[in-house]
Amino acid sequence: MGILVLKFGGTSVANVERINHVADIVIKKRKEGHSVAVVVSAMGAETDRLVELAQAINSDPHPREYACLVSTGEQVSMALLALALMAKGQKARSYTGKQAKILTDDNHRKARIIEMDVEHIKQDLDAGEVVVVAGFQGYNRRGDITTLGRGGSDTSAVALAAKLNADECQIYTDVDGVYTADPRVVLDARRMERVTFEEMLELASLGAKVLQIRAVEFAGKYNVPLRVLSSFEEGPGTLITYEEKNMENPIVSGVAYNRNEAKVTIRGVPDRPGVANHILGPVSSAGIEVDMIIQNISEDGCTDFTFTINREDYKATIDILERTASELGAREVLGDIKSRNYRL
């Protein structure tokens, strides 16, 4: 059997119990006969804590020092996971980005990977070891630490999978796959079995942070099959690949190409916590299914909120939104039922 690259995000390695659980998942894959390389993120919200620390000390942290600081979270996780694996009898070895020879450009906050030399990692895998690589970090030609941008462990994992020619790159997270919209915001969003790289790029560029956009680009470029799945419960997750030829029933996600939708926008809403609920609550109580939603960055304390619904529900939604707009003191409600390809 071939190589699997497994990536575990922050919530999946948030504490000792979760790390032990991750070790169990890894060992299970080994028992099934796969060689396994793992990429880990920092524990829980550790990276946020480090970013805040930097900010508290210096409102404009120098990028070199910033990268040096915020990359430390991953080093903790990688060593802990290697230790957890060893405690369970599985040989393991952890690598920082530099040890894993992930060479990047000089952009310390959002570096791009230039090259990666995986010969030593391959040797470890051949020797039956599990390799654990710190996500999010690389180094530049000077030998300084760089980081790959927030959410960058996804890109570390895909790059490693591409270089190792892995059978699949599995992104374990706190949701059980890719949904038509963020399942934490849109409660009736649907999990998709399969998505193409193009569709996933579209979703990521609409703000679905389930995968870093660069990771999707990379996976598409090197044709690395990607799977998003939960580290909390077993399941098939969502497979992201090129569309298979001759698929009898091609499953179109309908994310950005649903031609049966209308778009509505409520503009100039005071940006307070809970505002999304205030807007979407009455819509969903009326039995109207919301598909894509997007909330713009707040300007002068106000935000614009756009979402799509089935064309049949257009009129009812506008009526509801007019009421909500006056309750919230929003500027106006706009609707669009004419265009058919929405890119929010």
Nearer to Mg ion, 228 or 290 (CB): 228
Show contacts with ligand ADP in window 203-242 (CB under 6 A). Answer: 203, 208-210
**97 touches ligand ASP by CB under 6 A:** no
- The DSSP 8-state label assigned to residue 190 in this structure reads -
**135 touches ligand ADP by CB under 6 A:** no
Which phi-psi region, left, alpha or beta, contains residue 128 (left: φ > 0; alpha: ψ -120 to 50)?
left
Show contacts with Mg ion in window 1-30 (CB under 5 A). Answer: 9
Q: How many CB atoms lie within 10 A of CB 287?
A: 8
Tokens standing for 297?
């960055």
Closest distance to ligand ASP from the beta carbon of 15 (Å): 15
From the list 159, 58, 153, 143, the residue with the least C-alpha distance to 108 is 143
* Contact between 191 and 253 (Cβ < 8 Å): no
Using DSSP's 3-state secondary structure scheme, residue 179 falls into strand
Q: Which of 9, 220, 237, 268 binds ligand ADP (CB under 6 A)?
A: 9
Q: Which of 66, 95, 179, 307 binds ligand ADP (CB under 6 A)?
A: 179
Closest distance to ligand ADP from the beta carbon of 88 (Å): 22
Could you tell me the CA-to-CA distances from 2 to 133, 148, 157, 272, 304 in Å, in that order?
18, 27, 16, 50, 48
Lay out the site mask for ligand ASP across 126-145 (x = CB under 6 A, - = otherwise): ---------xx---------
Closest distance to ligand ADP from the beta carbon of 184 (Å): 4
**151 touches ligand ASP by CB under 6 A:** yes
Lay out the site mask for ligand ASP across 53-82 (x = CB under 6 A, - = otherwise): --------------------x---------
Distance CA 171, CA 227 (A): 6
Q: Where are the alpha helices (DSSP H) in the chain?
A: 16-31, 46-57, 63-70, 72-87, 119-126, 153-164, 197-205, 213-221, 275-285, 314-328
Q: Which of 44, 61, 138, 151 binds Mg ion (CB under 5 A)?
A: 151
| 135 binds, options ligand ADP, ligand ASP, Mg ion, none, Cβ within 5 to 8 A by partner type | ligand ASP
Chain contacts with Mg ion (rule: CB under 5 A): 9, 151
